Amino acid sequence: MVPNAAAFVKGSHDAPVDDSCRSVALPRIDDRTPRRAVGQPRVRARDTWLRHRPAVGTARTGGSGTARERQTCDDRRMTWTSPVPAPVDGPMTGDDRPILEGMLSHQRATLLAICAGLTAEQLAERPLPSSNLSLLGLVRHLAKVERIWLRKRVAGEDVEHLHNFEARDDTDFDQLDPADAPDAVEQLRDEWALADRAVADIDFDHTIDHHGEMSLRMVYVHLVQEYARHNGHADLLREAIDGVTGR
């Protein structure tokens, strides 16, 4: 149960909750779920904090593969839809670390809740003519951001950057292939688990040198801001793709 939940004021897409609210599983959207037909009610996620604590996925293989492997990939792309994240709770009072960890987890899962039920092709769409943004691009971008801030800058892990970060370009947004969508979603969830593990034993007052001294506490504030900003983008993209709102 979320303590003092009535005091929590969320965004315009969320309704107030009270002390009796509990996490409720989201409607299951799987590969058999057809796209919403015209005239049917829109699917709306429950107003709840969403946390996903997945196990780290298995290693991915590269290369073009055989014709059979490529066909399998094509079949998967045609039937796969972005999964629904698990429901979660987060503390409303107490120490700042659990609150910020909970809010970051909420923002993380909100992105996948917005994506849930869309096909790989839909995730790769750029439905706003004035922008290069897509939901797949946002998924890729935020996996890159998680790795940069928590695993590399804070924990000092010797891991490669994602999506050509060194070039400071829009590779994560521009170089898209719908066939990569299932792996991109899985990679984002992997990065959540790996990033959480990397900083679990690092004190919130630990500082890094990034345009001046910056604490791990402030890194969490920055990541919440980063997700919140892009989740606003994601809301607009999802509505433009199929009319769904309120995720």
Query: Quick check: is 190 in a domain?
Result: yes
Q: 49-104 pLDDT, tens per residue?
A: 333 333 333 333 444 456 565 555 555 556 899 999 998 889 999 999 999 999 99
Number of domains, the chain: 1
Query: Quick check: is 20 in a domain?
Result: no
Looking at residue 23, its pLDDT comes to 34
- In this structure, how many other beta carbons lie within 10 angstroms of the beta carbon of residue 25? 10
Q: Would you place residue 239 in the very low, low, confident or very high pLDDT band (cuts 50, 70, 90)?
A: very high
- Parent domain of 114: 95-247
Q: Would you place residue 44 in the very low, low, confident or very high pLDDT band (cuts 50, 70, 90)?
A: very low
Place of tokens 């709840």: 48
Please give the Cα distance from 2 to 48 (Å, whole number).
Answer: 9
Query: Quick check: is 81 in a domain?
Result: no
Q: Would you place residue 209 in the very low, low, confident or very high pLDDT band (cuts 50, 70, 90)?
A: very high
- For residue 116, the one-letter residue type is A
Complete DSSP assignment for 158-203: --PPSTTGGGTSSHHHHS--GGGHHHHHHHHHHHHHHHHHHHTTS-
User: Chain-centre distance of CA 233, in angstroms?
Assistant: 12
Output the CA torsion 201→203→209→215 (10° steps): 130
Please give the Cα distance from 241 to 120 (Å, whole number).
Answer: 12
Query: Quick check: is 74 in a domain?
Result: no
Query: Quick check: is 35 in a domain?
Result: no
Please tell me which residue, 16 or 178, carries the higher pLDDT value.
178
Can you give the CATH number for the domain in which 195 is found?
1.20.120.450
Output the CA torsion 213→218→223→228 (10° steps): -130
β-bridge partners, 207: 215
Assessment of whether the complete model's pTM goes beyond 0.95: no
Segment 114-120 shows an average pLDDT of 98
Is the per-residue pLDDT at 171 higher than 60? yes
Segment 203-223 shows an average pLDDT of 97
β-bridge partners, 209: 213
User: Chain-centre distance of CA 162, in angstroms?
Assistant: 16
Q: Which residues have CB under 8 Å from 69's CB, separation 6+?
A: none
Looking at residue 4, its pLDDT comes to 37
Q: Are 202 and 214 in contact (CB under 8 A)?
A: no
Query: Quick check: is 197 in a domain?
Result: yes
Is the per-residue pLDDT at 140 higher than 80? yes
Mean pLDDT of the chain: 77
Q: Would you place residue 172 in the very low, low, confident or very high pLDDT band (cuts 50, 70, 90)?
A: confident
Lowest mean pLDDT among 13-17, 58-62, 122-126, 201-205: 13-17
Query: Quick check: is 73 in a domain?
Result: no
Q: Which residues have CB under 8 Å from 16's CB, separation 6+?
A: 6, 8, 9, 10
Lowest mean pLDDT among 80-89, 131-140, 157-166: 157-166
Query: Quick check: is 68 in a domain?
Result: no
Looking at residue 169, its pLDDT comes to 74
Q: 84-99 burial, b for 16+ CB within 10 Å, e for fewer?
A: bbebbbbbbeeeeeee
